[in-house]
Amino acid sequence: MSFNPDRKAQLCALLGALTSALALAGGARPGAAPQLLTLGPVTVLNGTAVVSGTVAGSGAAGQLTVNGQPVSLDAAGNFTGVVSLDGDGALDFALGNSTGPLVDFHVPLALAGPGGIIPGSVVDAVEQAGATLLEPVGGFVGGQPLTVAGSVADKGQLAALAVNGTDVMRLLGADESFAVQLPGTTKEITLTATDTHGVSETTHYQVLGSHGAIATSIAARSAIGIKIAKIQYSTKGVTKTKRLRMIVTVKDSRGYLVRGAKITVRSRAAGRLTRRSQSKASGKLGRGIFVLRVKPRTLGKRLVMVTVARTSTAKAAKTTSVRLAKGKNRHR
């Protein structure tokens, strides 16, 4: 395998098919793919920021949050929004969809000039630096020490380069490539490139378990979207104990397990459970485990449950059912 010197092509391929008519950003290297994030001028005023720009290749299926607040993308990946800063000292643009890694850009507000304007070119240098990791076919797999290799296209644009917080700038060879070893217990790999003005670009790569299962989970505040991935019921002993076990697993749109999401379950019909609804936060495996106390008259009938999962920026709902039998347990 060889290093891919152009990070833009790799990231845009992960985020979706590129729009061939999309023009290159001003100042981009000749022949380069479009920038992943192309910003218009940002206006910072009275605790808010007005942002606009384009996310390459994402379209309406992509997702963008700015300081944790969702900003809508149109079919061409264009966006415009007003973001509350709430005292933050920087703008954080987080990009992703179901097929690509999370990529975020950190832009210090101190870069604002007269009139509170941050020029749209503020992310150009860190993008043109072209920092990338060589991702194995099938992704990174944990369970044993990981050798992580990567490269940059133009190290002259950068002040710092780190993998999981470890400086790899000093490891860059004549071909501007590097390699570093990480523990087999690593749950996520991050590559952070920082330019000379403090603007940074971080790409998050998920690490799979030794058998291919996703071994990483993320906090609800870092999730891009939310979905209810699985609902399982266990009816064992329910006719005797009048207790039904229900397990709800939640992920974000990229497939990351989400911890700290609020999960609420309730019976669609009244009088089936001793408590109409229950809520709890998902654990480190992205699961909420509920023990539902059913009323005797529910046995032999189908119990219909409504499940809702929430983060601060997204919500998902799903309706499922399970039949409770008298005398003999059945599960569908």
Nearest to 72 by CA among 90, 91, 89, 53: 53
In this structure, what token pair is assigned to residue 165? Answer: 């917080």
Parallel, antiparallel or unpaired: strands 90-96 and 243-251: unpaired
Nearest to 126 by CA among 93, 100, 96: 93
| Count of helix runs (H) and strand runs (E) in the chain | 3, 26
Looking at residue 2, its pLDDT comes to 39
The residue whose two tokens read 């209810």 is: 228
Looking at residue 137, its pLDDT comes to 66
Other Cβ atoms within 10 Å of 234 Cβ, number: 15
Looking at residue 304, its pLDDT comes to 95
Looking at residue 101, its pLDDT comes to 54
Asked if 120 contacts 93 with a C-beta cutoff of 8 angstroms, the reply is: no
Looking at residue 302, its pLDDT comes to 92
Long-range pairs, 143-147, Cβ under 8 A, ≥24: 143/184, 143/209, 143/210, 144/184, 144/210, 145/181, 145/182, 145/183, 145/184, 146/181, 146/182, 146/183, 146/184, 146/186, 146/189, 146/207, 147/179, 147/180, 147/181, 147/182
Asked if 157 contacts 129 with a C-beta cutoff of 8 angstroms, the reply is: yes
CA distances from residue 225 to 255, 305, 332 in whole angstroms, order as listed: 10, 22, 29
In this structure, what token pair is assigned to residue 76? Answer: 């061409």
Paired residues of 45 in beta bridges = 48
Looking at residue 39, its pLDDT comes to 95
Domains of the chain: 7-215 (no CATH), 227-323 (2.60.40.10)
Q: Is-above-0.75 flag for pTM?
A: no
Looking at residue 195, its pLDDT comes to 96
Looking at residue 327, its pLDDT comes to 54
Residue-by-residue pLDDT tens, the chain, 332 positions:
333 434 334 333 333 322 222 222 223 333 345 688 999 999 999 999 999 999 987 655 567 888 878 888 888 889 999 999 988 899 999 887 544 557 889 999 999 999 999 999 999 999 999 999 987 766 788 778 888 999 999 999 999 999 999 999 999 988 999 999 999 888 888 999 999 999 999 988 878 766 554 446 788 888 888 999 999 998 877 888 888 889 999 998 878 889 899 999 999 998 899 888 999 999 878 889 898 989 988 898 999 999 999 998 899 999 999 998 775 544 33
Residue 238, SS3 per DSSP = helix
